[in-house]
Amino acid sequence: MTDISKSMRAIEISTPGGPEVLKITERPTPIIRENEVLLAIKAAGVNRPDVLQRMGMYPPPPGATDIPGLEAAGVVAAIGKNVSDINVGDKICALLPGGGYADFATVDAGSCLPVPTGFTFEQAAALPETVFTVWANMIDDGDLKAGETLLVHGGTSGIGAMAIAMAKAFGAKVIATAGSDEKCQAALNLGADATYNYRDAPWDKEIADNGGADVVLDMTGGDFVARNISCLNHGGRHVSIAFLRGAEAKINILPIMQKRLRLSGSTMKARALSEKARLARDIEKQVWPHLESGKMAVTIDKIFPLEQASEAHKHMESGAHVGKIILKTR
Ligand SMILES: NC(=O)c1ccc[n+]([C@@H]2O[C@H](COP(=O)([O-])OP(=O)(O)OC[C@H]3O[C@@H](n4cnc5c(N)ncnc54)[C@H](OP(=O)(O)O)[C@@H]3O)[C@@H](O)[C@H]2O)c1
């Protein structure tokens, strides 16, 4: 049984700014509502949206805590009165609306999944944000199927590494881009079938000349959208999850019509709890078996203690990481 103290350690964003604004502080331990569980956190994932939140560019959804952290793994310390399928003492990982950089977090029971068999808490904490985002956008909305080809930019990012692992587990071919030859090699090591250094290769022409792509999972936006469109096959799907090269893109409508392309996009944070619960159940059925069998691996770059959250953010912003950065709480 986990001791639930009245207060807990948490990392707060003292003011919008650089990594140094992340400060360790004491906060009241959050109180569960009837559909929630209280998670005694062992490890939490660091994601790029946390960096944007720290800079004041991606506020938490209404009603959510201001403590950053969109995913965590740990042990259930208490359950709300309407929670029936999770018990105190269960090992779970969860997609959080925020609050992962702390000793405890409350989360809707529907956003929880069991820690996959054989996984450490650190490995499990690396899963929810990237698994939910990649599943929802690449498989659910993007409809990537076995035998098709995925193009993913940022192939060594947390999202990119998960996209490669999931697409390969589901029988697709993967083309990834990265910003250096070393990162291209790392993306190949993660399982990509082909890579391009986006800084110098005419990747769009080469992909189009070599069979094209059926789905693009795009975190780049800007000038890459037109290039993505140019190498999408007939019936292709373009799914936007971020715009690291700019929120505005100049595109020609004609190839969208000629190739019957579909363009969509989404943010995970803003989705309704019922939608996250639906995704969680699909993921548990479709993705968890691949993780537990070892067909899909999770890639952890570095683990920092909770109190070094600002170092973890510096590391993410250096761009040196391959895969996930984790904060260890206990
Ligand atoms: N929509 C959603 O629901 C959702 C959910 C989670 C994350 N996201 C977004 O997905 C992206 C990845 O998240 P993450 O946590 O995996 O971040 P991350 O590990 O920090 O990765 C960011 C990646 O972006 C690439 N990149 C940066 N600037 C680029 C540019 N100008 N051109 C091309 N590539 C560039 C980097 O590749 P190189 O280092 O190789 O250049 C890096 O691999 C973030 O933008 C995040 O906000 C969206």
Last residue of a domain, one of 265, 284, 316: 265
- What residues make up the domain containing 196? 131-265
Does residue 157's CB lie within 6 angstroms of at least one atom of ligand 1? yes
Last residue of a domain, one of 241, 265, 289: 265
Does residue 241's CB lie within 6 angstroms of at least one atom of ligand 1? yes
Q: What is the CATH number of the domain that holds 201?
A: 3.40.50.720
**pLDDT the model gives residue 163:** 98
Does residue 160's CB lie within 6 angstroms of at least one atom of ligand 1? yes
Q: What is the CATH number of the domain that holds 86?
A: 3.90.180.10
Does residue 198's CB lie within 6 angstroms of at least one atom of ligand 1? yes
The answer to the question of residue 11 being in a domain is: yes
**pLDDT the model gives residue 1:** 63
Same domain, 135 and 261: yes
Which residue ranges in the chain fall short of pLDDT 50? none
> Do 39 and 74 touch, CB atoms closer than 8 A?
yes
AA identity, residue 236: G
Measured in whole angstroms, the distance separating CA 80 from the mean position of its chain's CA atoms is 27
Same domain, 247 and 304: no
Question: Which atom of ligand 1 is least distant from the CA of 159?
Answer: 16
Query: Closest by alpha carbon to 128, among 74, 82, 90, 89?
Result: 74
The answer to the question of residue 1 being in a domain is: no
